[in-house]
Structure formats: C-alpha cells, structure tokens
A and B are shown apart, each in its own frame.
Chain A
Amino acid sequence: DAKTTQPTSMDCAEGRAANLPCNHSTISGNEYVYWYRQIHSQGPQYIIHGLKNNETNEMASLIITEDRKSSTLILPHATLRDTAVYYCIVLSSMYSGGGADGLTFGKGTHLIIQP
C-alpha cells in the first residue's frame, strides 16, 4: 500500500469548514483513499472513501485531485465533537474477499476544534 503524508496537527474554529489534506504521491491506479478518525479513548471510526471521483456522505466530503496524488477531507461545519485524530489510508482493493490486508495507519492529523 502507498504511503501517506498528513500534517501533525491542525486547528479549526467551531462552525467553520475543516479541511484536512493528505498526500499520497505514490498511489497506484487501483488504490482507494480511506479516511478514519479516532476520538480520544475510542476505537477508530470509518468516515468516507473514494477512488477518483469526489464523494460526499452525511459526515464529510472527500475531494481527490485529478492526478490522485493528494486528497482533502472536508468537515463542512465542524463541532467540538469533531476533535479527533484523522487518518488517511490508501488500500489496494475495495473488495478484498477473504484476504488479508489490514489497514495501515500512520500518525494522522490531530484536529482541534476551537470554541
């Protein structure tokens, strides 16, 4: 799986959009971009994933550049409960069948929402 690079930490004001960048310059054509977050003292939580098109769900939007070498996770109206570590992960297959690869987490971005 390709490596990812994320800023160590970011601040965002409550009610504003939080934009979290991720670089994955060595991503290959069949690798998906996944985002998870981990709120303090909890297990990681799936947010969103995409291949090359932009994606949106009830939690966030994912913008992937045309060359797929970077992406941005957008939390449109950040709240204090969005304070967490956000992980960007790339995976080689969407449907892995029975096998084998676990998620490779880096250190992520610690997003702090300020009141």
Chain B
Amino acid sequence: ETGVTQSPTHLIKTRGQQVTLRCSSQSGHNTVSWYQQALGQGPQFIFQYYREEENGRGNFPPRFSGLQFPNYSSELNVNALELDDSALYLCASRMTGEAYEQYFGPGTRLTVT
C-alpha cells in the first residue's frame, strides 16, 4: 500500500448532480494529481495541484475542478455530471522535484445514472 487514501470507495450519482471526491496524500508529498480511468482504458490526467494551486491540466472541461489544502490533501469536484463521467477516479501524490515516481491511491468508483 502507498499511504494515499481516497474516499469514498464507491459512489452513485444522477446525471446533472455534483460530486466531491477526497484524497489524502502520502506523508511529506506536496504535489497531488488526479486521473480518470474509464473501463478498459489507461488513466487520463485531469490536473495537478502544488502549493494549493492548479499548475497543470489535461484535456478536461472546467466543470472538473479541485482544491488542495495546507496539509496537502485534495478534493476533486465535478459539476453537472454526465453519463460519460462514470469511471474510476485516481489520486496520486509525489514530492515536487522528485522524479515521476507517483504514488496512487486505490481510487473512487463513480457511477452516473
């Protein structure tokens, strides 16, 4: 296990609703990234947070937003949920300045109906 925890484990939402997913990074890691993994696909980079600011983003619309807190934990918020948002959402942490040895959590499985 990596020390990265995510909550909740599973979640079911209805189209149009909003959802918040949470991540606690590994101790000492100051950079957190979020990924979306659709069934049968590799994870896709959503964004990265460092020093409580978003400093990198993949090809995701603005309704995907996030926060990082002073203790380096993070939230992913998705507004106006769509059926295609159903996926495994992964959080990964690392130390800035280190190589891309990212430590992933177990993920949150989101189902949108």
Binding site for B on A (CB under 8 A): 32, 34, 41-46, 49, 85, 87, 91, 94-108
Contacts and interface: CB of A to CB of B under 8 A. Distances in A.
B51 interface: yes
7 contacts: A42-B104, A44-B90, A96-B96, A98-B31, A99-B56, A100-B55, A102-B46
A22 B43 CA distance: 18
B14 to A, nearest CB: 25
Contacts of B55: 98-100
Interface string B28-65: 00010101000011111111101100011110000000
B108 to A, nearest CB: 11
A85 B39 CA distance: 13
Nearest to A45: B104
B98 A95 contact: yes
A102 B57 CA distance: 8
Interface range on chain B (Cβ under 8 Å from partner): 20 to 34
Contacts of B99: 32, 49, 94-95
Nearest to A47: B101
B96 A100 contact: no
A32 B46 CA distance: 22
Contacts of B45: 101-104
A102 B90 contact: no
B97 interface: yes
Contacts of A91: 100
Given A99-B56, A102-B56, A105-B43, A43 B107 contact: yes
A101 B92 CA distance: 13
A86 B43 CA distance: 12
A108 B42 contact: yes
B7 interface: no
A101 B56 contact: yes
B102 A103 contact: yes
Contacts of A106: 42
Contacts of A102: 33, 35, 45-48, 56, 58
A103 B92 CA distance: 10
